[in-house]
Amino acid sequence: MSKIGWNNKKAKLVIANWKMNPNTASEAKDLFLEIKERIAGVRGVSVVICPPIVFLGELRRLYSGSRISFGAQDVFWEKKGSFTGEESPSQVKSVGASFVIIGHSERRALGESDEEVSRKVKAAAAAGMRVVLCVGESERDQSGKYLAVLERQLKNSLEGVSASRAGNLLIAYEPVWAIGKSANEAIDGAELHAMTIFLRKILVSIFGKKKAFQVPILYGGSAEPGNVENLINFGEIDGFLVGHASLRSKSFGEIVRIVSRS
């Protein structure tokens, strides 16, 4: 497993979620090499690339440094056996993934339940992976009901996860209404700050204060070069989960540089 710095309070984290992109292994290789080039020499930021799992092994082989880690976009909770189409934590680890995104809203939209998410979180954490648990409300309402929705989602997704696993956990707050849009339609730093306090309080109620404060909180949802500075300076976050902007090496490189300066 590669060494990463997010336990270190000073190190921020920028995670690229490539989703089901790009089209071919050779395009994935090109994109990875371009990103590697763009972030060469940047300090104080750990970068994690989460490509489609089919490309992961090959990208891992292209890289021997420690600045970049790799992650999967999902994982199954069983260790092995007759589960066609699934991959276990040890399988994704064996091709180089030390992180795994679990409970992304796009998977939840395909039917993944909080219960399934919690089983995946437990299995991946037990296998020693760093789990990026995604939570986020679909929409907001004036009366603040979305806060209860979010609280329920976080608590249910962490059902049965023991405090001893908190060190494996990262939370990605990704309001669904902000995903795949543009910087000016995303949340702003002050609003994000309120949400990180809210999420931190829920984590404290689950894990206790000491452990809860060890869990990094990331933001995702149209994080772009145009808004990450405001979000990192005012949002009280530890980094970003970046979707569309991670498919353009220039934008992604800019995001990593801005975070390193902040």
List residues binding ligand PGA (CB under 6 A): 17, 174, 179-180, 220-223, 241-245
The residue with its CB nearest to ligand PGA is: 243
Q: Which two tokens stand for residue 1?
A: 């497993």
Distance spanning both ends of the chain, measured CA to CA = 27
CB of 158 to ligand PGA, least distance (A): 19
Q: 47 vs 88, which CB is nearer to ligand PGA? A: 47
Task: Pick the catalytic residue from 87, 104, 137, 224.
Answer: 104
Task: Report which DSSP code applies to 98.
Answer: -
Instruction: At 75, give phi and psi (nearest 5°).
Output: -160, 160
Annotated active-site residue 115? The verdict is: no
Closer residue to ligand PGA (CB): 211 or 242: 242
Residue type, 140: R
Q: Catalytic annotation on 174?
A: yes
Q: How far is the CB of 14 from ligand PGA (least distance, A)?
A: 11
Please give the Cα distance from 232 to 8 (Å, whole number).
17
- Closer CB to ligand PGA, 22 or 207, in the complex: 22
In this complex, which beta carbon is closest to ligand PGA, that of residue 100 or of residue 207?
100
How distant, in Å, are the alpha carbons of 12, 104, 210 from that of 241?
11, 11, 24
Provide the minimum distance between the beta carbon of 204 and ligand PGA in the complex, in angstroms, as a whole number.
25
Q: Work out how close the CB of 185 gets to ligand PGA at its nearest, in angstroms, rounded to a whole number.
A: 10
255 CB-near residues (< 8 Å, 6+ apart): 14, 223, 224, 225, 228, 240, 242, 245
Report, as residue numbers or ranges, the catalytic residues.
Answer: 104, 174
